Amino acid sequence: MPENERVQDEIDFTSPRGRLATRLSDVVGHRWPAEVQAIGVHGSLAHGDDHDSSDVNLVVLTYRPGHGPRPALRRVDGILVDLQVTTAEEGLRRARELTPRWPLEAERFVTSRPLHDPHGLFARQRDAHLGRLAEARPLEFSGLARHDWEIAAAAHARAVRLAEYYDTDAALVMMAEARLHAALVAGLLSRTYFRNQADAVKRTGLAGADVQELSKILDAQAEDLTARGRPVDGTLKEFLE
């Protein structure tokens, strides 16, 4: 069965989000027929569990940079649409790239569903991403995790200081950042990706962690990173190397 036909059994094209995604795909394809190579969706539509508060995450792959529709984020008929545009070549490069935000970026490459993809570009991105994961060394992931740990620890320290000054609102913002990056550490060390930021802190048990609990979690992560050969503290010589 062709991939596009198989996907149509997974995406609910009868929902308002599904119908809007189809309309957008048709308009983009007709307006830029010589520029667009593929159009797909990710997020809740791709997972088949969209609901009234869901948005539409549309990805357009073009032949040339700067051509085709412009990236946009706005509401259309009351539904938030996130239109991402990149070349097929750049999309493939990003699929092979590992960054500290990998637990939040991988979902797009693994679960994107095509609306128009005659050359199977989204499947190529998925295979390229999975291939990159298969060849990645453990030290690569622990190095990325250390980056997120440093951000989490700094945000946690700021939250503690702000709480001491009774700046509760600012402390809450810093705690949210600390929880998220601690969740990214957990995702990188276990090679687990998440659907979004809320999913990350929920699945790692960090959503309700208070200052003391988060401090213990960060200490445990620091010990884990040290055991994996990526200590969070070191000498100036090690820093420059």
DSSP 115-146: EE-TT-HHHHHHHHHHHHHHH--HHHHHHHHH
176-210: pLDDT as tens digits: 999 999 999 999 999 999 999 999 999 999 999 99
Residue 234 is predicted with a pLDDT of: 87
Q: Is the pLDDT of residue 8 over 60?
A: no
Phi, psi (rounded to 5 degrees) for 119 = -105, 5
- Give the model confidence (pLDDT) of 20-47 as tens digits: 999 999 999 999 999 999 999 999 999 9
Report the alpha-carbon distance of residue 31 to residue 150 in Å, rounded.
46
Q: 11 in helix, strand or coil? A: coil
Burial of 8 (0-12, 13-18, 19+ CB in 10 A): middle
Task: Count Cβ atoms below 10 Å from residue 27 Cβ, excluding itself.
Answer: 11
- Global confidence as pTM: 0.90
- Greatest Cα pair distance in the chain: 62
- For the segment 159-165, the average pLDDT, to the nearest whole number, is 96
pLDDT digits (tens, 9 = 90+) for 65-115: 999 999 999 999 999 999 999 999 999 999 999 999 999 999 999 999 999
User: In terms of C-beta density within 10 A (0-12 exposed, 13-18 middle, 19 or more buried), how is residue 212 classed?
Assistant: exposed
Residue 236's pLDDT is 87
